[in-house]
Amino acid sequence: MMKRGVHIRKGSKHIKTRVDLPASKSLSNRLLIIKALCKDNFIIKNLSGSGDTIMLQKSLENTDSINSIDINDAGTVFRFLTAFFCVLKGTRTLSGNKRMLVRPIAPLVDTLNELGGKISYSGFKGYPPILINGTTLEGGKASIDAHISSQFVSALLLIAPTMKKGLELELKRSVASEPYIRMTLDLMRYYGIESEWDDNIIKIVPQKYEPKNITVEADWSAAAFWYEMAALSEHAEIELMGLQKNSMQGDNAIAEIYENIGVETTYLADSILLRKSARTIDFLELDFFAIPDVFPSLVACCAGLNLPFRFTGLQNLSIKESDRVEAMICELGKFGYEFEYEKPAVLSFNGLHKKPVKKHILCETQNDHRIAMALAPLSLLDFNLNITDSDCVNKSYPDFFNHLKNAGFSVEDFWNNCNFDLNLT
């Protein structure tokens, strides 16, 4: 099967551009579930145009006519629909691509069934595909292992107000990606749903969502790749439109992180301005357990800067669209960067760099949008990059490569199949 790839070059290490970032996929997906659960209609402005959000929107718009849904690789969509279809009358099958079929779903399914749900497995126990018989959930007390994915928790919280007894959810073990759970509760509060979070217990009584129009903020996760570019440049003035300082998105933590590694953030009325600044640290230690989506961009950036680091909290990155730690180790190894990986949670880099044999680097995305976008900025370091399967960015940021062109990068298409080798030297 022929797939599009891109050649990327950047003659100058100066960047001056203005970027209309995509709307937040995380906010958009939660809002679509809330809208589907709300008795009255409301308007969502600036809804994400990502592949995941389009998939979710189509699935929700055709609940009466479709009883079998293949969501491909959209993990958030799979988890949110698992909970949503559990409280919607009818019988439906949820499936996905090969990668999705090895991503665990058992913690969510077990908890939903504990609350009165009727979900069974169509294949291997604990994994998609699943068969869902919709019903009204009794609700009450339940528990879930929150260590694997915050999306399991968010999926339960979104439907909690519809349960007869509401929900008292105990979060077992340490909570993965906690800011995403707080985002869910903040959005629910905007739509009239009150909640209590005391220690490891979240309580939500039966309530009704209240209609209210909203405009979706731009995506801080997408901003991470522009922060990476600013840090790797010699001079940068990058205005990112639609971002706010007081954001529901936990990935806005990157502004503070990058302040230490060479990027200054100025907050404007409806945007932020990134400028190249002096690096203030010689070693970076960072825990990604709360912000896993920014790992690929930060590991590529620190490698490109030859900045030694010790990254922890990586244990859940193996169940993303790819095994992101292994993928980044493999792809960055082609550039001459070597790492020490203490599986499953710790990655270290000593700051040393061996120059690669080839001038042109052929990078495999492993069908992972964040891998592709994290590697592209390394073209600022005089590498000619060749990134396969570049259309994978459609999952979250369809205009990424067009925005690179607008910022002065040379981006040219090539077509290849999975076994094609450019054999560049």
What's the number of CA atoms in the CB half-sphere (13 Å) around residue 389?
17
- Alpha carbon of 136 to those of 88, 89, 90, 115, 207: distances in Å? 8, 8, 11, 10, 14
Specify the amino acid at residue 313: G
Predicted pLDDT at 2:
64
Instruction: Indicate the CATH number for domain 25-215.
Output: 3.65.10.10
Predicted pLDDT at 417:
44
Which pair of tokens denotes residue 283?
A: 């070693």
Q: What is the dihedral of CA 212, 215, 216, 218, to 10 degrees?
A: -160
The conformation of residue 225, written as its DSSP 8-state character, comes to H
Domains 3-22+218-416 and 25-215 are alike in CATH topology: yes
| 3-22+218-416 CATH, one of 3.40.50.2300, 3.40.1160.10, 3.65.10.10, 3.40.50.720 | 3.65.10.10
| Burial 327-359, CB ≥16 within 10 A → b, else e | bbbebbebbebebeeeeebebebeeebeeeeee
Distant-in-sequence, close-in-space partners of 223: CB < 8 Å, separation ≥ 6: 21, 240, 243, 251, 254, 272
Specify the amino acid at residue 56: L
Q: Which residues are catalytic?
A: 293
Write down the domain spans for the chain. 3-22+218-416, 25-215
Which pair of tokens denotes residue 93?
A: 């099958």
Q: Is the peptide bond before 206 cis (omega within 30 degrees of 0)?
A: no
Specify the amino acid at residue 221: S
Which pair of tokens denotes residue 126?
A: 């604990």
For the four alpha carbons of 216, 32, 222 and 345, in that order, the dihedral sign comes to: positive
Q: Are strands 284-287 and 263-267 parallel, antiparallel or unpaired?
A: unpaired
pLDDT by residue, tens only, the chain of 425 residues: 568 899 999 989 999 999 999 999 999 999 999 999 998 999 999 999 999 999 999 999 887 767 889 998 888 999 999 999 999 999 999 999 998 999 999 999 999 999 999 999 998 999 999 999 999 999 999 999 988 889 999 999 999 999 999 999 999 988 889 999 999 999 999 999 999 999 999 999 999 999 999 999 999 999 999 999 999 999 999 999 999 999 999 999 999 999 999 999 999 999 999 999 999 999 999 999 999 999 999 999 999 999 999 999 999 888 788 899 999 999 999 999 999 999 999 999 999 988 776 678 999 998 899 999 999 999 999 888 999 999 999 999 999 999 999 999 999 998 754 444 444 44
How many residues can be counted in the chain? 425
The conformation of residue 423, written as its DSSP 8-state character, comes to -
